[in-house]
Amino acid sequence: MLGGAGSAAASPLPGPPPDAGLRDLLKQIDPKRMEATIQRLVSFGTRHTASSQDDPVRGIGAATNWVYSQMQDIAATSNGAMTVQKQTFVQPVSNRIPVPTTITNVIATIQGTASPQRYYVVTGHLDSRVTDVLDFTSDAPGADDDGSGVAVVLELARLFATAPRLPGTLVLATVAGEEQGLYGSAFMAAQMAAAGADVQGMFSNDIVGASQAWDGTKPDPHTVRLFVEGIPTTATSAQISLMQSVGGENDGASHQLARFVASAAPYDLTGMNVRIIWRRDRYLRGTDSLSFQQHGYPAARITEPRENFNHEHQNTQVVDGVQFGDLIDFVDFDYMARVAKVNAATLWSLASAPSTPKNVLIHTTPPGTLSGTNITTLTWKANPESNVVGYEVVLRETTAADWTSAIDIGNVTTVDLDIAKDNVQFGIRAVDSAGRRSPVAFPAVAN
């Protein structure tokens, strides 16, 4: 029995109450400011990846320069906490890149005070498109896809630039080349992986501006979808075989990240229900979170509750009285503000809490035994944070969506539990002196 529950109907473990600093941060989110951002982005006419790099008023180059200027202005308010860079590379010819093309990401970094080596990344993609993915001359306003995500990133940058600095490092980025093949985020993720960056959470805000489909369906202004992969993208055939043997299909790092979001950004704090969907992205589709998943980083896509395909990847035109095109008219800025609150609450909580424990192992045959045992032995590496005061084992029935019970085991790195590993799932999370808890780490099999 799990804390007296023992069933899939048991309630998830409660999240911590938000501190005063986070509540103050959320009060500063300004939908009017995000509206002004999208208006400016739309004014560039098109932000197609292959559009002009040097026209001062139209195209991806002008839009990139404007975002970079905005990030620099924001960094100037941070008292040196924020740095901003243009990350530029040339993408070779591909099926959606007809000639070698310069792609530029704009990346703002707020280095953590205690754990600068662990990163939490949030992105929106700057580029836009119309019906023909190779049409780089037609107007492509991209108000929702993905001006909304860029506006959320800039708003988060403004908030965190002047907020108290947090232990973990925040990376707030606009990426390009998404519509042509996730090229900007792929380069960014590869660079971070090559540098050995410990990215413990990444969120792609892609199409987060509309609370209703504008096609007669019921609006849902208080729900946002969070897509997370099940079996990790990087899982080997041997690891997949092991999952089939012992379970864990619903316990990859991205699923643990999603469970953390649900507890860190509840409705009573953000005005938003986070609908977790155990799928990498919408059906047979993808976005920039995939670029980070391909390096083994836990990542998720944040997106509105119901897309209207008349307003995505469409030329701006009226056909039989129906307006097509990704226009600002269809963006709900109060909804966007709530999306920004979900992001802000999640980033604040992740960067404030201890890091996710590493090298967590479950031992099937503990030392000194000759055969299997009903005793469950877990081991892990001690967290690097000086304020970690202990760890908790979390448990749930295999059919439960979230963790339902926790056992305080003190400041140790091994524990023996008289609970059969055959029947339940286990995880480990770190606890600091303020009672903040890390995301859960799911154990690998030791032997």
Taking only the tens place, the pLDDT of each residue in 215-230 is 767 778 999 999 999 9
Question: Same domain, yes or no, for 155 and 298?
Answer: yes
pLDDT for the residue numbered 4: 39
Residue 141 lies in a domain: yes
Band of pLDDT at residue 366, cut at 50, 70 and 90: low
In this predicted structure, the answer to whether residue 6 has a pLDDT above a threshold of 70 is: no
What average pLDDT score do residues 121-127 get?
98
Residue 12 lies in a domain: no
The last residue of one of the domains, among 332, 352, 372, is 352
Question: Same domain, yes or no, for 37 and 150?
Answer: yes
CA-CA distance, 344 to 99, in Å (whole number)? 38
More confident residue, 161 or 242: 161
User: Domain of 240?
Assistant: 20-352
- Burial of 4-21, coded b for 16+ CB within 10 Å and e otherwise, reads ebeeeebeebebeebeee
Total number of domains in the chain: 2
Question: Same domain, yes or no, for 38 and 123?
Answer: yes
Question: Same domain, yes or no, for 314 and 395?
Answer: no
**Which residues are CB-neighbours of 196 under 8 A, at least 6 positions away?**
none
Band of pLDDT at residue 367, cut at 50, 70 and 90: low
The last residue of one of the domains, among 352, 367, 401, is 352
Question: Same domain, yes or no, for 241 and 388?
Answer: no
Residue 368 lies in a domain: yes
Instruction: Tell me the pTM.
Output: 0.95
pLDDT for the residue numbered 430: 98
CATH assignment at residue 420:
2.60.40.10
More confident residue, 296 or 369: 296
Which tokens go with 172? 């707030």
pLDDT tens for residues 67-76? 999 999 999 9
Residue 70 lies in a domain: yes
Residue 1 lies in a domain: no
CATH assignment at residue 152:
3.40.630.10
Residue 147 lies in a domain: yes
Question: Same domain, yes or no, for 112 and 181?
Answer: yes
pLDDT for the residue numbered 369: 64
Question: Same domain, yes or no, for 283 and 209?
Answer: yes
CA-CA distance, 281 to 298, in Å (whole number)? 14
Question: Same domain, yes or no, for 324 and 405?
Answer: no
Residue 10 lies in a domain: no
pLDDT for the residue numbered 370: 60
Question: Same domain, yes or no, for 298 and 391?
Answer: no
Residue 195 lies in a domain: yes
pLDDT for the residue numbered 374: 84
Question: Same domain, yes or no, for 142 and 63?
Answer: yes
In this predicted structure, the answer to whether residue 52 has a pLDDT above a threshold of 70 is: yes
The last residue of one of the domains, among 305, 321, 352, is 352
pLDDT tens for residues 14-39? 888 889 999 999 999 999 999 999 99
Question: Same domain, yes or no, for 261 and 137?
Answer: yes
More confident residue, 204 or 367: 204
Question: Same domain, yes or no, for 334 and 374?
Answer: no
